[in-house]
């Protein structure tokens, strides 16, 4: 009878005010059957982590276009871990230079990075892959 759904928090941390991209992604995830929680703009890392906790999400997607990803992503990862949510998938999307992408991934500050040009299918397929075992059981 169990009917698990993948819950995703999509958040705009920091000071950038452009949310077209994140809304497109949110809609894509919705169409793939996920429950998507959107917080709105200008969230602090603390707000993002606390929301992830209360909403008990499986995935946190950060949309960052401001260039502050090397500060925001590690901070949010740290706060998620403090909350006992180290298992939550942390995805970063936005304007992320190739070099920074490598750094985020190798330091474990993000599980995956998506940039402009990545099709929506790639994001949903990535998420489904990560949860294949837990959702089919």
Give the C-alpha separation, 83 to 66, whole Å.
Answer: 26
Q: Which of 113/124 has CB closer to another protein?
A: 124
16 binds another protein (CB under 8 A): no
From candidates 13, 14, 22, 43, binder to another protein by CB under 8 A: 43
Single out the segment in contact with another protein by CB under 8 A; choices: 50-58, 69-77, 100-108, 112-120. Answer: 50-58
Given candidates 50, 68, 105, 111, which one binds another protein under the rule CB under 8 A?
Answer: 50
Closer to another protein by Cβ: residue 84 or 99: 84
Report the alpha-carbon angle 21-48-125, nearest 5. Answer: 50
At 93 the three-state DSSP class reads: strand
- Residue range at the interface with another protein (CB under 8 A); choices 28-36, 70-78, 91-99, 105-113: 28-36
Which residues in 1-137 belong to E strands, given as ranges?
Answer: 7-11, 35-38, 59-64, 89-94, 112-114
Instruction: Decide if residue 40 touches another protein (CB under 8 A).
Output: yes
Neighbouring-strand partners of residue 87: none
Contacts with another protein by CB under 8 A: the residue count is 32
Q: How many CB atoms lie within 10 A of CB 6?
A: 21
Contact flag: residue 130 with another protein (CB under 8 A): no
Helix, strand or coil, per DSSP, at residue 129 = helix
Residue from the set 34, 64, 110, 123 that interacts with another protein by CB under 8 A: 34
What are the distances in angstroms from CA 56 to CA 5, 65, 113? 11, 26, 22
Determine which residue in the list 21, 37, 111, 126 makes contact with another protein, applying CB under 8 A.
37
């Amino acid at each position: 009878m169990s009917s698990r759904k993948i819950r995703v928090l999509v958040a705009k941390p920091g000071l950038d005010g452009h949310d077209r991209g994140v809304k497109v992604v949110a809609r894509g995830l919705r169409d793939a059957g996920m429950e998507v929680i959107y917080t709105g703009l200008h969230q602090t890392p603390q707000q993002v982590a606390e929301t992830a906790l209360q909403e008990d999400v499986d995935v946190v997607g950060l949309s960052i276009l401001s260039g502050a990803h090397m500060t925001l992503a590690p901070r949010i990862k740290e706060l998620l871990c403090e909350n006992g949510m180290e298992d939550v998938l942390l995805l970063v999307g936005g304007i992320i230079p190739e070099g920074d992408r490598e750094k985020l991934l190798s330091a474990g500050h993000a599980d995956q990075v998506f940039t402009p040009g990545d099709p929506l299918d790639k994001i949903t397929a990535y998420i489904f892959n990560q949860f294949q075992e837990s959702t089919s059981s």
